[in-house]
Structure 1
Amino acid sequence: MSQPPFGPPPGGFRHPGGETGPPPIPQAPGGVAPPGGPVPGQPVPGGFGAEGSAYGPGSTGQQPPSWHQLPPEQLARMHQPGVVPLRPLSLGDIFGGALQTLRRNPEATIGMGLIVLAVLLVPSLLLTLLAVQALSGVSEVDAAAATGLINVVFSMLSSIALTGMIVHVVGEAVLGERAGLAGTWQTVRGRLPALIGTVLLIGVLFAILTVGLILGIAGVAVAASESGSGVLGVLGIILLVLGGLVVMVWAGCRLSLAPAPVVLERVGPWRGLTRAWQLTKGGQAWRIVGITFLAGIVTTIFATVVQLPVTAVLIFGLESAGLPTSPVSTTVLVTDHLLQLVVGAVTIPFTAGVTALLYLDQRMRREGLDLVLVRAAQDRAASRAR
């Protein structure tokens, strides 16, 4: 399986015709490039593989001379050789492509999800049980809130890690290839330190934002108490909290694309963050936030439909057996983590697939990656036809 062409574009190459230009036209027979397209023998813009690979930075992307001799049905597939068409993507393309990737590559998506979640949910469960013991003197509601926060943190970590791993699977699925679990691990394992660094860096940035929000709330509360205007103080705190949450969601959706360049473009954590920020600037930022938020709603509904009946049966069984049904009891916590493992193995790869396709969509809109992908599809089709 050849390395897909996802390296950073040299010279800030943009899609011909603007962000929403027409789909690319394959190179004509005889080596004549289409208007605005890559020139034979010249570096291909947007090559996205590792250094020295067939489509890595500085490669010529030389076209095999036999691609134009392919059967008509294979030529017709070049604009959609895989799970999505090779053009700027719509919402339906992104959601459909993510689902198709799950269906065609269950081993490398759901299987990878089970492995990553199993690794991360073990420390999550241990920390949750320790937190329950440490907070034994507080109310049950406060203890449940603390354990819920731990679950949210580990869910975010697993989502970011899986995005980095599944983006390789999505990259292959876009070109009509199937990536196995072993092949995905072999490709991604060298990027694990950079992925971990990306996760930690995002965590530090959001910790700084959270501390700033807390300090702002404290400042408003102190000012309100000194001035004696309690109503204005409460209103100011509410507005500050809502504004802080909006900023965090907005920034989080934009930075969620960072694992994709870290893996596909083989850049470092900080460069991955800045790359994600650059790709999501302008009006596209709110589109990405909206699609990411919608994907979260869809997966939340699916998780609720699966978890709610199981939880109801569990509580009924515990009550019948005379066992505690508290949300912070050991039995409930263990069952909750097992449900997260099963449900998350499907939902997180789906959202990771959506994130990976959003990254590819932005590169097609801004950097003409669709032209490079068509050339890669030509290369692969020609090599299979030999």
Structure 2
Amino acid sequence: MSGTDGPHGWGEPDGGRGWEQPGGQPPASGQPSPGGPGQPPAGGAHDQQNGWTNAPGWSWRAPDVKPGVVPLRPLGVGEILDGAVTTIRRNPRVMLGLSAAVAVVTQLIGMLVIWVLLGEATALDDLGRDITADEALDFLGTTLGGAAILLFVTWVGTVFLTGMLTVVVGRAVIGQDLTLAETWQHAKPRLLRLFGLTLLYTLIWSGAIWAVMAGAIAVAAGGNAGAAVALLVFGGLAAMLIGIWLYVRFALSTPALMLETTSRGNGYPVPIGVIESLRRSSRLVTGSWWRVFAILLLVMIIVFIVAQVVNVPFSLPATFGDGDMFTMAGMSFGALMISTLGGIVSTTITAPFSAGATALLYVDRRIRREALDIELARAANVELPGRHEGYDPGGTQPGSQ
């Protein structure tokens, strides 16, 4: 551990940055690091000083230290997923209650917007004639405006909820269950930066796709339809691959922003900035891009399947609503309410799992690259057998992938 990090939180080996201490207070100076000489190293073959030797073909392994929802060591995929579920079970009031509250607000606003659009569609359908160009443009403008409102409300709710839940998961790793007030107290000074980070992050990974679309439109406007199609197909594929690569590379920036601190000026820890959180994610993902990609993809698949299963019983009334089921005007207000309820239930279940899995993936990457388990053990006031500052366990260690 770098001497420069000292009292500034759960620091990383290169100093300066750290994982914020509970309550935002620096740890007491002189606190001994967990573990120490004389303890048998994990996976060690022998210990001549203590007079014992492992039998051939056998190796000694220290028991897992697990003050919170995951053991303080490099995590397997199953442990990351299980840790996300365990966090929800340990602190349902915040994890599920907060998710439900945000889902109710966003889904109800979305329902009202959709109902307005359904009213517009019904009015046009009741005319009983072909609509004019002006009427079509008016309806298109209303639809686009409603879609923009829906996207904005969903984005704000998702960013806010992800930031709050990430804080809860960060504390659950060391066995601390936060109240809603404590979660808000920690997340509040970081939320504005998180909105900026999320906007920048979205522009980064989607920028190539938008550039290809703009280029194709420009080429088509010039009268070369064939070139425009080719640009959309091949350029779109390349842009999609670039977008996926960037998405994964910066996927850990949100937990980095919400959980890390840095030392400035007076020596007290302050949250890291937007650009620094992107750099931190890039560093943590480097050398393990495919593993991070696979875990994120698995989480997305699980979330998608759960959401579809939950939504099925709620979507049936909407599908077979009053009127023509193939028109926007064919959904009754009751069916829309039931569909909205399905969205609330789905978000309440999937949002904490997704945020928890991403936060624990971040913890895993820091343990593997930066020996964060030592700092986590110190914060949890537990000892890691065979792990202490300056000790090389010879297995998975800082810098391993």
**TM-score over 0.5 for the pair:** yes
Alignment of 1:358-377 (within 5 A): 358-377=361-380
Output the amino acid matched with 1:163. T
**1:181 paired to 2:150:** no
**1:311 paired to 2:278:** no
In the TM superposition, what whole-angstrom CA distance separates every residue of 1:117-171 from its partner, at most 9, and x where no partner exists?
Answer: 3343455445555666788766999999997787566555544332221122112
Q: Per the alignment, do residues 195 and 273 of structure 1 end up closer, same or farther by CA in structure 2, a change over 3 Å counting?
A: same
Partner residue of 1:342 out of 345, 359, 378 = 345
Give 3-state SS (helix, strand or coil) of 2:97's partner.
helix
Q: Distance in 2 between matches of 1:264 and 1:47?
A: 5
Output the amino acid matched with 1:272. S
Unaligned runs of at least 5 residues, structure 1: 13-42, 68-75, 382-386
Q: Distance in 2 between matches of 1:271 and 1:126?
A: 39
Partner residue of 2:274 out of 236, 260, 269 = 269
Give 3-state SS (helix, strand or coil) of 1:98's partner.
helix
**Hey, what does 1:53 align to over in structure 2?**
25
Check the 8 A contact 1:166/1:353 in 2, yes or no. Answer: yes
Check the 8 A contact 1:49/1:264 in 2, yes or no. Answer: no
Q: Larger Rg: 1 or 2? A: 2
Give 3-state SS (helix, strand or coil) of 1:202's partner.
helix
Unaligned runs of at least 5 residues, structure 2: 1-7, 37-61, 125-134, 261-270, 385-401
Q: Distance in 1 between matches of 2:30 and 2:291?
A: 32
In the TM superposition, what whole-angstrom CA distance separates every residue of 1:160-199 from its partner, at most 9, and x where no partner exists?
Answer: 3322211221122211222222322222223222222223
**Hey, what does 1:63 align to over in structure 2?**
32
Q: Which has the larger strand fraction?
A: 2
Partner residue of 2:246 out of 251, 261, 270 = 251
Alignment of 1:1-386 (within 5 A): 7=10, 9=12, 11=14, 46-49=18-21, 53-55=25-27, 60=29, 62-63=31-32, 79-128=65-114, 155=154, 157-205=156-204, 208-218=207-217, 221=220, 226=224, 230=226, 234-265=229-260, 266-282=271-287, 284-316=288-320, 318-319=321-322, 322=323, 326-327=327-328, 329=331, 331=333, 333-378=336-381
Q: Which has the larger helix fraction?
A: 1
Q: Which moved more, 1:128-137 or 1:295-304?
A: 128-137
Check the 8 A contact 1:128/1:150 in 2, yes or no. Answer: no
In the TM superposition, what whole-angstrom CA distance separates every residue of 1:245-302 from its partner, at most 9, and x where no partner exists?
Answer: 33323323433322212221121223222222222123x1222122111111111111
Check the 8 A contact 1:10/1:46 in 2, yes or no. Answer: no
Q: Distance in 1 between matches of 2:284 and 2:336?
A: 40
Q: Distance in 2 between matches of 1:252 and 1:281?
A: 13
TM-score by length of 1: 0.70
Aligned-pair RMSD on alpha carbons?
A: 4.0
Q: Distance in 1 between matches of 2:100 and 2:197?
A: 21
Q: Distance in 2 between matches of 1:64 and 1:279?
A: 24
Identical aligned pairs, as a percentage?
A: 32
